[in-house]
Amino acid sequence: MEEPIGKLPNPLENSKPSTENLVSRKRKNDEVEPEITEKPAQELKRTKKLKWEKFVGKRAEGSVEHATYFTQDECKAYSEELHEQIEYLNPEETCVSVYGKNYNLPHDKALYGDKGLEYKQAKRSPIACSDWCPVLLKLKAQMEALQNCKFNMCILNKFDDGDNSMGVFAHDEEDVDQSVPIVSISFGGRRDYKFKPNNNKEDTFNIPIKDGTVVVMHDPMQRNWKHAVPKRKKEKSQTLIVIFRSVIIEDEEDQNQDPSDS
């Protein structure tokens, strides 16, 4: 569950630290397949020459790497498609409960994924993911090729300006597959990821994100660290962060099994 954001002390500057295609709510099925078959995975890998920066935790195990992955032209095109295709949840669906009182998130959220997947929230009802839309399928294919893995869920956080923020958070829900990295793509204004370990304050660090930045969080980052997107008062532009992850799907056969049979 996302927690209210607090002040993070002493950031370290510049740390080096097979499913079917689904129908979008706005696109017909025959528009989806061409979007994800534009380039083979291996070709996608070869077209990007990246300079990665990496942070590796010492007292708290975990690693994060980041690079500017998309060009300005690519960012502009993807931002326009995302604006046209993404539908955001109502604030009532995403509010968080703190000491029995509900608070709206200081940003907009959208959820997409494979058919039947749900986003599970602590102490709240799960939210059904929307079917994949064409632009997310294109981005997913590139990130899967980059990391040689498969994603089945996407979380989108939209920050209208620097007054919007995201509280301290970790992708540590029980159904999240920690063997698959968490990959985020940033489009729009400049923001920061603030990371802090669960067991000390000294190792806190900061990763600046901007238009086209890809951040990859490797296991056991979610087990040992939390991250936030704090306010950035001087930022007037909108920022959209697209996060891909994989959740473990319980076998339908196991779900239907009679407990007396085991």
**DSSP assignment of 130-143, as one string?**
EEP-HHHHHHHHHH
Please give the average per-residue pLDDT across 175-191, as a whole number. Answer: 97
219 is in an annotated binding site: no
The CATH architecture annotation of domain 53-248 reads: Sandwich (2.60)
At residue 93, the pLDDT reads 86
Kindly indicate the confidence band of residue 2, based on its pLDDT and cuts at 50, 70 and 90. low
227 is in an annotated binding site: yes
177 is in an annotated binding site: no
pLDDT in tens, 62-93: 999 999 999 999 999 999 999 999 999 998 88
* Ranges of each domain in the chain: 53-248
102 is in an annotated binding site: no
